[in-house]
């Protein structure tokens, strides 16, 4: 029997989730507290029941799962209410704004054996999957450092800073690639446009293995960049989401200690390779993963805990940013 899902939040992003749910499962409900958003959307999904009241959707005993695509400050509360009502939850990123909130959600989901999956879209991007494959296969040698560039002019958000709005993407990937929790987290930045909302943030992470990572996050920048670079001892790889055809580029470039140079470091440059990366829509893959977890496939507990790790590190970086 098909999984019955309700989607809450029908702004810019929610209808994309509803569209995917509609093709992969049964979209049973659509919900937005703003009636005009419901009216705007209901024609696209005529078979789904529509409401402005989240509790009405939760009261439907036949509903299996809820997707939360509302503004960030509402995520933790709506996810908690959905879990308390016995529904599996896919909640947009970041799933919560504090460690205390996400830890409560993880405990609740665990106690009720429900799925709590954060919408870390990049983790389902075939280009990021390729990066992971390259890191795990050892083809890059030992990974030394990873850095992310997520810059653009805008979108200037009032209720989230660049760290939470942009950094959540790169951080989820960095933690996924390295499978370590950082032992050091430092962030520096400035709130140029709106007091207390940092627009430009630089982050440094160091891991127990000695690997390091960096993130440049900004909506005050002339370049639109969506790039992650992984530097290994044998090869280096770049994932560039602005590219259409060469999302991933592998460089045979590395430092080289030649015996005949008596301990002096040289560099080695070889081929540049562009592996094929599937063009599947990441959001569809994310929804498929959620439905698989709901169906009992995969480690639902790990997915929730991985999501919590991202919030923990974001909170740690925030404390550093604010100088505490
Ligand atoms: N993964 C991604 O790449 C990606 C991309 C865009 C947005 N997002 C996330 O999706 C979420 C929504 O973003 P958006 O750009 O669509 O925002 P938006 O402001 O356009 O839409 C949010 C909608 O939620 C509704 N809403 C608010 N409180 C509600 C409640 N209690 N119950 C029901 N509906 C409620 C609002 O009326 C609004 O229509 C955010 O968390 C954002 O971070 C993720």
Nearest ligand 1 atom to alpha carbon 119:
1
Ligand 1 binding pocket includes 150 (Cβ within 6 Å): no
Per-residue pLDDT, 101:
98
Residue 74 alpha carbon to ligand 1 centre in Å: 9
Ligand 1 binding pocket includes 33 (Cβ within 6 Å): yes
d(CA 22, CA 246): 31
d(CA 254, CA 268): 5
Backbone angles phi, psi at 223, to 5 degrees: -100, 135
**Looking at the DSSP assignment, which residues form a beta bridge with residue 116?**
89
Ligand 1 binding pocket includes 71 (Cβ within 6 Å): yes
Per-residue pLDDT, 324:
65
Report the predicted TM-score, pTM, of the whole model to 2 decimal places: 0.96
CB atoms within 10 A of CB 297: 10
Q: What is the pLDDT along the chain (324 residues), one digit of tens a residue?
A: 699 999 999 999 999 999 999 999 999 999 999 999 999 999 999 999 999 999 999 999 999 999 999 999 999 999 999 999 999 999 999 999 999 999 999 999 999 999 999 999 999 999 999 999 999 999 999 999 999 999 999 999 988 999 999 999 999 999 999 999 999 999 999 999 999 999 999 999 999 999 999 999 999 999 999 999 999 999 999 999 999 999 999 999 999 887 777 788 899 999 999 999 999 999 999 999 999 999 999 999 999 999 999 999 999 999 999 996
Contact present, 76 and 95 (Cβ < 8 Å): yes
Whose CA is closest to atom 25 on ligand 1? 9
Ligand 1 binding pocket includes 235 (Cβ within 6 Å): no
Ligand 1 binding pocket includes 32 (Cβ within 6 Å): yes
């Amino acid at each position: 029997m098909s999984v019955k899902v309700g989607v809450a939040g029908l702004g810019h992003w929610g209808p994309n989730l509803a569209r995917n749910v509609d093709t992969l499962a049964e979209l049973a409900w659509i919900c937005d507290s703003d009636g005009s958003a419901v009216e705007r959307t209901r024609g696209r999904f005529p078979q789904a029941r529509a409401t402005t009241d989240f509790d009405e959707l939760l009261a439907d005993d036949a509903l299996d799962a809820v997707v939360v695509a509302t503004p960030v400050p509402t995520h933790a509360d709506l996810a908690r209410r959905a879990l308390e009502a016995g529904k599996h939850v896919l909640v947009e990123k970041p799933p919560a704004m504090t460690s205390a909130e996400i830890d409560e959600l993880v405990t609740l989901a665990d106690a009720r054996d429900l799925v709590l999956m954060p919408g870390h879209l990049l983790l389902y991007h075939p280009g990021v999957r390729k990066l992971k494959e390259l890191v795990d296969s050892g083809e890059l040698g030992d990974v030394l450092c990873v850095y992310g560039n997520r810059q653009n002019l805008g979108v200037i958000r009032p209720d989230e800073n660049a760290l939470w709005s942009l950094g959540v993407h790169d951080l989820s990937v960095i933690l996924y690639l390295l499978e370590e929790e950082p032992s050091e987290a430092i962030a520096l930045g400035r709130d140029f446009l709106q007091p207390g909302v940092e627009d430009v943030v630089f982050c440094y992470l160091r891991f127990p293995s000695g690997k390091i990572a960096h993130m440049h996050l900004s909506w005050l920048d002339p370049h639109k960049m969506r790039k992650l670079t992984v530097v290994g001892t044998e090869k280096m790889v770049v994932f560039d989401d602005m590219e259409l055809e060469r999302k991933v580029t592998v460089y045979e470039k590395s430092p080289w200690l030649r015996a005949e140079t008596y301990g002096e470091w040289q560099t080695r440059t070889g081929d540049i390779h562009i592996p094929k990366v599937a063009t599947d829509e990441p959001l569809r893959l994310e929804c498929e993963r959620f439905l698989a977890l709901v169906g009992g496939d995969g480690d639902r507990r790990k997915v929730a805990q991985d999501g919590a790790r991202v919030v923990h590190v974001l909170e740690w970086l925030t404390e550093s940013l604010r100088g505490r």
